[in-house]
């Protein structure tokens, strides 16, 4: 037998010992508990279940779940809410299991709990981080009042594909803005103290790259080079981790052929070793089991792979619960791996203060005062009106007079069921304010005639797919012709027509990908006919994604994009339509001219053959049939007033690597209303070792400027803002010239430059 040199042996021992020391929790109570746990009890902690339907109908948990909790086979639940129901579940865990370990109680609180805020793509359009942070705080306050201590949000997946239904759940196309929003949400949910009864654990999801599914088809494969990944898609997850997010959810897609849930490079090498994440990783809903369908083996094999990769908790599929012991016996996983995953779950429970008081989220008096309070609803109204984007204001039709004669038409004009938007399972449509009601609340003196005018879609089979969570597309018994006639008659008698059209809530969201993203034909017919009446027409457009609206932009109509605005929908829309609030939202994902143009986003590259002139030229990177530019650029949104930009200045024409640079600009409100403007800064790194984007967002500030007023705005570029991941994935800034553009959208022309030495 060969002798192992002593130095090697010592080194190996040192490495093993320090790895073990590293694995130890800094929380002595957690280590003490781990000492007492059997392997089965540890595996039990890795299991997350949802009792589903059992909850709604009374009994707190379905039989099986209850038995599993008692057997110590459950670490957390989701889909259970209400302090009393959660208390019952918690009581079983605490009083009827050997070690009395309390449960994590999860939920999808994506854009508000019961006080539903605009869907995330709408919230992003506010560009107001303080406001977004407040919505997250309120969501946490309401959810924790109902017994929840762990939220499956924020969803920070960058998406440049509006075919993907879940683009509605994120911040859009840009990593700089997406990172700012990720921070605002994480710190809103968690604040700086998880033991407080009104904060909850946040989960950044879906790690990673879920928004880049091929063809925009949900759950589809992702194939992406590392440079793009690190520069464009990973920053918001990283920002959430740096902000202290306590949990991460793995995504459904594969990356380089390995599903995220079993991807060791992703969950360990990157997330833990490189980024230093210390919390726990949960799978997405059965995403562990789905590795079987991905083609990676049977349940035992994929469960072992996921644990080896760094997954800590298995959502719903029970792959960990049913196979890990066997894998341990067969040497496919180690006891250390199981203990480590369990340790992370226990640490989360400890951080929440659950060991000290498992019922800290079960105060029966809280829901009444904390949920859907007047203040919370006021915030929902504020957030909604700030999320609206004025895309076009034909002849300054908007705002309307409060005593106008209005024909309010369209299938979404009085549709309470479609106000909350996708992924609002904790909300309740019965609290939502429909638009007709909002108009009456805000403009009591207006003479309003309502007519449905069209169905959201005339396609019964399509409607069935959309109506899975309740009626969203309700096809009228009357013929489309009769409905149209009624709308045109209302229009005839009115001074102005407000048409509310677009998507039903479930036309975007999970498993709601579309290959055509135009307004459904049934509604297009209504809009065309209204535009022909000669009356001023305001199109209030609802959707959870960018739509292709080239035809509507060409009609003589004004267009106000309102997403799905949440519980205060009608009031907020009326606030903007009648001028109580001057719109200030700006889109955060470019709107394409047509589906064939996808992906189109502001930070595209020049290519070797850029399209330089306005008129078409052969042998350029362009299309024969449409321009390269999107229909509506990233960052665009109008106001009832106008803003003029001038005097761009840079405080240093030359800077060093560790020096920030300040760019200032004067913005004047040149119109007739006070208003807010989102001042945006775009950077172009002119020459560098990997091809730079033509420009990319690197700064913004939302400012209130009164009419006639002029303000000087200063935006600072930090040394990190000039950095990018190069071909070796080093995060560096390279010397040379940087061009800076400042303005009200990504087409900003006002320009200056500086040189990095
Ligand atoms: C979604 C997640 C969600 C989970 C639990 C999944 O289908 O992808 O975003 O958190 O369900 O409801």
In tens, the pLDDT along 159-203 reads 999 999 999 999 999 999 999 999 999 999 999 999 999 999 999
Q: Whose CA is nearest to atom 10 of ligand 1?
A: 152
Whether residue 412 sits in one domain with residue 344: no
Whether residue 446 sits in one domain with residue 478: yes
pLDDT at 606: 96
Question: Which residue of 111, 285, 468, 508 sits with most ligand 1 atoms within 8 Å of its CB, as the best mutation to test the pocket?
Answer: 285
Indicate which CATH number applies to the domain containing 677: 2.60.40.10
Whether residue 368 sits in one domain with residue 488: no
For 121, counting Cβ atoms within 10 Å of its Cβ (0-12 exposed, 13-18 middle, 19+ buried), the class is buried
Closest CA to 714 of 693, 729, 699, 726: 699
Atom of ligand 1 nearest to the CA of 249: 10
Whether residue 731 sits in one domain with residue 672: yes
Q: What is the total count of domains within the chain? A: 3
Domain range for 483: 373-597
> At residue 493, does pLDDT exceed 50?
yes
In terms of pLDDT, which residue wins out, 438 or 9? 438
Whether residue 521 sits in one domain with residue 426: yes
Whether residue 432 sits in one domain with residue 549: yes
Distance from C-alpha of 441 to C-alpha of 578, rounded to nearest angstrom: 11
Q: Whose CA is nearest to atom 4 of ligand 1?
A: 285
Whether residue 539 sits in one domain with residue 496: yes
What is the C-alpha radius of gyration for the chain, rounded to an integer number of angstroms?
27
| Banded pLDDT at 64 (limits 50, 70, 90) | confident
| Banded pLDDT at 748 (limits 50, 70, 90) | very high
> At residue 10, does pLDDT exceed 70?
no
pLDDT at 51: 87
Q: What residues are paired with 676 via a beta bridge?
A: 704
Q: Would you say residue 451 lies in a domain?
A: yes
Q: Contact 408/436 with Cβ under 8 angstroms?
A: yes
Whether residue 351 sits in one domain with residue 449: no
How far, in Å, is the centroid of ligand 1 from the Cα of 285? 6
Q: Which residues of 221-230 are buried (b: 16+ CB within 10 A; e: fewer)?
A: bbeeeebebb
Q: Cα–Cα–Cα angle for 35, 312, 78, nearest 5°?
A: 105
Atom of ligand 1 nearest to the CA of 315: 5
Q: Which residues of 130-164 are buried (b: 16+ CB within 10 A; e: fewer)?
A: ebbbbbbbbbbbbbbbbbbbbbbbbbbbbbbbbbb
Q: Contact 564/420 with Cβ under 8 angstroms?
A: yes
Q: Would you say residue 276 lies in a domain?
A: no
Distance from C-alpha of 645 to C-alpha of 642, rounded to nearest angstrom: 10
Last residue of a domain, one of 578, 597, 616: 597
Whether residue 469 sits in one domain with residue 322: no
pLDDT at 52: 67
Last residue of a domain, one of 357, 372, 387: 372
3-state SS class at 742: strand
Question: Which residue of 148, 152, 281, 317 sits with most ligand 1 atoms within 8 Å of its CB, as the best mutation to test the pocket?
Answer: 152
Whether residue 658 sits in one domain with residue 587: no
pLDDT at 12: 47
Distance from C-alpha of 118 to C-alpha of 124, rounded to nearest angstrom: 9
Q: Contact 558/539 with Cβ under 8 angstroms?
A: yes
Whether residue 381 sits in one domain with residue 367: no
Q: Would you say residue 119 lies in a domain?
A: no
Is 284 annotated in the active site? yes
| 420: Cα within 13 Å, side-chain hemisphere | 25
For 402, counting Cβ atoms within 10 Å of its Cβ (0-12 exposed, 13-18 middle, 19+ buried), the class is middle
Provide CB contacts within 8 A for 243, sequence distance 6+. Answer: 182, 183, 186, 187
Provide CB contacts within 8 A for 48, sequence distance 6+. Answer: 74, 75, 76, 77, 78, 104, 106, 282, 313, 314, 315, 316
Distance from C-alpha of 388 to C-alpha of 572, rounded to nearest angstrom: 9
Q: Would you say residue 239 lies in a domain?
A: no
| Banded pLDDT at 22 (limits 50, 70, 90) | low
Distance from C-alpha of 114 to C-alpha of 82, rounded to nearest angstrom: 12
Last residue of a domain, one of 372, 392, 420: 372
3-state SS class at 151: strand
Closest CA to 172 of 534, 511, 498, 589: 589
What stretch of H or E contains 280?
strand 280-282
Q: Would you say residue 602 lies in a domain?
A: no
Q: Whose CA is nearest to atom 6 of ligand 1?
A: 285
The overall pTM is greater than 0.85:
yes
Q: Contact 322/299 with Cβ under 8 angstroms?
A: yes
Q: What is the CB < 6 Å shell around ligand 1? A: 108, 152, 205, 284-285, 510
Distance from C-alpha of 556 to C-alpha of 489, rounded to nearest angstrom: 19
Provide CB contacts within 8 A for 115, sequence distance 6+. Answer: 138, 139, 142, 371, 372, 373, 376, 377, 379, 380, 427, 566, 567
Sheet holding 661-669, edge to edge: 643-650, 661-669, 710-717
Distance from C-alpha of 684 to C-alpha of 700, rounded to nearest angstrom: 15
């Amino acid at each position: 037998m060969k002798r192992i040199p002593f130095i090697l042996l010592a080194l190996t021992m040192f490495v093993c010992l320090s790895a073990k020391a590293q694995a130890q929790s800094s929380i002595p109570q957690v280590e003490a508990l781990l000492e007492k746990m059997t392997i089965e009890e540890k595996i039990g902690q890795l299991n997350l279940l949802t009792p589903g339907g059992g909850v709604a109908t009374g009994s707190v948990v379905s039989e099986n779940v209850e038995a599993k909790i008692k057997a110590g086979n459950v670490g957390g639940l989701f889909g259970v809410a209400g302090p009393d129901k959660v208390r019952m579940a918690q009581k079983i865990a605490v009083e009827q299991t050997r070690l009395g370990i309390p449960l994590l109680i999860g939920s999808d609180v994506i854009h508000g709990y019961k006080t539903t805020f605009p869907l995330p793509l709408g919230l992003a359009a506010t560009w107001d981080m303080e406001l977004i942070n407040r919505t997250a705080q309120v969501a946490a306050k309401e959810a924790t009042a109902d017994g929840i201590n762990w939220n499956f949000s924020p969803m920070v997946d960058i998406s440049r594909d509006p075919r993907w239904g879940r683009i509605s759940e994120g911040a859009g196309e840009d990593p700089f803005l997406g990172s700012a929003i990720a921070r605002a949400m994480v710190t809103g949910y968690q604040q700086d103290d998880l033991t407080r009864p009104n904060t909850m654990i946040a989960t950044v999801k879906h790690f990673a790259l879920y928004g880049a599914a091929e063809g925009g088809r949900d759950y589809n494969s992702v194939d992406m080079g590392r440079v793009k990944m690190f520069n464009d898609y990973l920053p918001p997850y990283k920002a959430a981790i740096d902000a202290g997010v306590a949990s991460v959810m793995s995504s459904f897609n594969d990356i380089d052929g390995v599903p995220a849930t079993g991807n060791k490079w992703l969950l360990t090498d990157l997330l833990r070793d490189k980024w230093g994440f210390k919390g726990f990783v949960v799978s997405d809903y059965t995403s562990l089991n789905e590795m079987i369908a991905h083609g990676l083996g049977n349940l035992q094999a994929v469960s072992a792979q996921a644990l080896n990769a760094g997954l800590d908790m298995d959502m719903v599929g029970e792959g960990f619960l049913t196979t890990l012991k066997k894998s341990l016996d067969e040497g496919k996983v180690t006891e250390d791996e199981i203990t480590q995953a369990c340790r992370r779950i226990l640490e989360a429970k400890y951080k929440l203060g659950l060991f000290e008081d498992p019922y800290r989220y079960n105060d029966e008096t809280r829901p009444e005062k904390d949920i859907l309070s007047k203040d919370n609803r006021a915030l929902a109204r504020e957030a909604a009106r700030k999320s609206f984007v004025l895309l076009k204001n034909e002849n300054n039709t908007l705002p309307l007079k409060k005593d106008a004669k209005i024909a309010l038409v369209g299938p979404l004009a009085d549709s309470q069921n479609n106000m909350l938007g996708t992924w609002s399972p904790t909300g309740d449509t019965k609290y939502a304010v429909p638009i007709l009601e909002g108009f009456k609340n805000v403009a009591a003196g207006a003479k309003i005639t309502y007519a449905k005018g069209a169905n959201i879609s005339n396609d019964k089979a399509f409607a069935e797919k959309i109506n899975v969570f309740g009626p969203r597309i309700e096809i009228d018994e009357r013929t489309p012709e009769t409905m149209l006639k009624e709308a045109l008659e209302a229009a005839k008698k009115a001074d102005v027509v407000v048409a509310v059209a677009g998507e039903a809530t479930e036309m975007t969201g999970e498993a709601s990908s579309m290959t055509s993203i135009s307004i459904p034909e049934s509604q297009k017919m209504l809009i065309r006919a209204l535009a022909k009446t000669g009356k001023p027409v305001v199109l209030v457009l609802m959707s959870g994604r960018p739509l292709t609206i080239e035809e509507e932009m060409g009609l003589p109509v004004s267009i106000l994009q309102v997403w799905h605005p949440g519980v205060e929908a009608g009031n907020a829309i009326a606030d903007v339509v009648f001028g109580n609030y001057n719109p200030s939202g700006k889109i955060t994902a470019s709107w394409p001219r047509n589906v064939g143009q996808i992906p189109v986003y502001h930070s595209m590259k020049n290519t070797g053959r850029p399209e330089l002139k306005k008129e078409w030229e052969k042998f350029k990177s362009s299309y024969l049939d449409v321009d390269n530019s999107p229909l509506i650029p990233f960052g665009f949104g109008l106001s009832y007033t106008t803003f003029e930009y001038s005097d761009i200045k840079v405080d240093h024409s030359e800077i060093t690597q560790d020096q920030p640079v300040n760019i200032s600009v004067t913005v004047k409100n040149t119109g007739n209303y006070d208003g807010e403007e989102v001042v945006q800064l775009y950077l172009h790194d002119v020459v560098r070792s990997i091809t730079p984007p033509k420009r990319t967002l690197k700064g913004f500030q939302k400012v209130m400027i009164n009419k006639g007023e002029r303000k000087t705005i200063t935006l600072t570029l930090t040394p990190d803002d000039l950095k990018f991941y190069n071909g070796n994935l080093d995060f560096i800034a390279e010397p040379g010239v940087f061009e800076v553009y400042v303005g009200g959208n990504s087409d900003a022309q006002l320009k200056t430059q500086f040189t990095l030495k």
